[in-house]
Amino acid sequence: MPLTGHFTAARVEAVYRSESRRVLATLIRLLGDFDRAEEALHDAFAAALQQWPRDGVPDNPRAWLVSSGRFKAIDALRRRARFDASLRLLAEQLEDAAQAVEVDEMEDDRLRLIFTCCHPALPADGRVALTLREVCDLTTEEIARAFLAPPATIAQRIVRAKAKIRDAQLPYRVPERDELPARLESVLRVVYLVFNEGYTASAGAELTRADLCAEAIRLGRLLLELLPNAEVMGLLALMLLHDARRAARTDATGELVRLDEQDRSLWNRQQIVEGSQLVQLALTSRAFGPYSLQAAIVAVHAEAPSAAQTDWPQIVRLYDVLLQLSPSSVVELNRAVAVAMRDGPEAGLLLVDELLGHGDLQDYHLSHATRADLLRRLARIDEAREAYSSALRFVQLEPERRFLQRQLDELGD
């Protein structure tokens, strides 16, 4: 039954929001090229705007769009074949290879797209940009704004990543079982990079970017839906539990609020419950990794009724396990903070000084800020003042800079 133009345009827009990334993932597999698939996707939706008002919305819009996009791409190759004979051969190969697309196979295409965009052969910034563009459907301008980079720079990263995939003939597939752990680690790292840039921006005037946090959580949910795995659960839990505190991390004027001073009534209890349940599932699976342990630490904070009632001994124990599994200087710094809360500031300061004495984290503003806070609590004011000044030399995010400056000012002259 024909439909009115206004209704159909709204329907096409809704289908685009819900299905475009699925359709694109399948078109990339069928056409073997990112740019060709994107052009076919746009042509398919343009055809839908023309035909659906006349013929009605098909029973399976996604399959219709895939079929339409593939035929549009083949037609475009034939037109261009007048100038390039190799395109005629490609068009014939694509037409000969045409097969009915199964729904399960289309779901696999979404995983293929994620693993391809996050392939470890691509540079890290290219993986992030390509994933946000192709999997999340963010525009180049939106990605550029999120990462405070010129749109031309982001566009170049995406172009280079696509060229690398094409020239290196990176396989468009879900890794085999024996490859999966290493490849999944790259995917999870990209998703967490996106989240971290949203949760605590690397630079700029705003502490958080809610849209990037939401995109990373959406990616995490998609991964868990397509690939149930303990570390996928752990990463999704970690992001949910961190994001649950976002509303309380700044005050009404945008100033940073420390964890122990946050209004816990502003924390998102629904996300805390969901995140804590995922942590339990991940840890009981016995196949957990660093993301699950980090999520467990954040869950202890989230479940404490108040800062004073936080179970710091449990947090220290979790950091001990995390350090065995995934040692890093930043984890050691975080553990030092937990030790200071359990055993007193002097115990924590010894650990921080040892870290800095090894040359680790000398350029990391939070190591100096942590040391300054511990010195302040020990009433070693001159040393605290010097440590805050060191932190200010390395901080880049404006809300953090203002917070550190306030802490320094409160020490007086």
The pLDDT tens digits for 60-100 are 999 999 989 988 888 877 776 665 555 555 555 555 555 54
Average pLDDT, the chain: 87
Q: Residue 16 sits in which domain range?
A: 5-101
- Residue-wise pLDDT for 147-168, tens only, equals 768 999 999 999 999 999 989 9
320-350: buried (b, 16+ CB within 10 Å) or exposed (e) per residue?
Answer: eebeeeeeeeebbbbbbbbbbbbeebeebbe
Domain boundary among 303, 325, 347: 325
Residue 289 and residue 138: Cα distance in Å, rounded?
30
Q: How far is CA 106 from the centre of its chain?
A: 23
**Same-domain check for residues 75 and 189:** no
Residue 275 and residue 76: Cα distance in Å, rounded?
47
For 90, the token pair is: 């490609």
pLDDT at residue 1 in the model? 44
pLDDT at residue 254 in the model? 82
Give the torsion sign (CA, 55, 60, 61, 62).
negative
pLDDT at residue 388 in the model? 96
**Same-domain check for residues 178 and 121:** yes
- Domains held by the chain: number: 3
Residue 137 and residue 184: Cα distance in Å, rounded?
21
Contacts of 218 (CB under 8 A, 6+ apart): 136
Q: Residue 367: which CATH number?
A: 1.25.40.10
**Same-domain check for residues 316 and 331:** no
Residues of the chain with pLDDT under 70: 1-7, 80-107, 148, 201-207, 413
Packing angle, helices 34-55 and 151-167, rounded to 10: 100
**Same-domain check for residues 91 and 168:** no
Give the CA distances from residue 24 to residues 40, 127, 186, in Å, rounded to whole numbers and listed in that order.
8, 17, 22
**Same-domain check for residues 114 and 192:** yes
**Same-domain check for residues 94 and 148:** no
125-149: buried (b, 16+ CB within 10 Å) or exposed (e) per residue?
Answer: bbbbbbbbbbbbebebebbbbbbee
**Same-domain check for residues 117 and 172:** yes
pLDDT at residue 42 in the model? 93
**Same-domain check for residues 252 and 178:** yes
Residue 368 and residue 363: Cα distance in Å, rounded?
9
- Helix, strand or coil, per DSSP, at residue 62: helix
pLDDT at residue 325 in the model? 93
Hunting for tokens 């203002």 — which residue is that? 402
**Same-domain check for residues 216 and 313:** yes
Domain boundary among 101, 116, 150: 101
**Same-domain check for residues 152 and 65:** no
**Same-domain check for residues 158 and 179:** yes
**Cβ contact 407:388 at 8 Å:** yes
41-71: buried (b, 16+ CB within 10 Å) or exposed (e) per residue?
Answer: bebbbebbeeebbeeebbeebbbbbbbbbbb
Q: What single letter denotes the amino acid at residue 189?
A: R
pLDDT at residue 240 in the model? 98
Domain boundary among 101, 120, 136: 101
**Cβ contact 315:298 at 8 Å:** no
Residue 238 and residue 249: Cα distance in Å, rounded?
16
pLDDT at residue 81 in the model? 61
**Same-domain check for residues 183 and 314:** yes
Give the torsion sign (CA, 215, 217, 218, 224).
positive
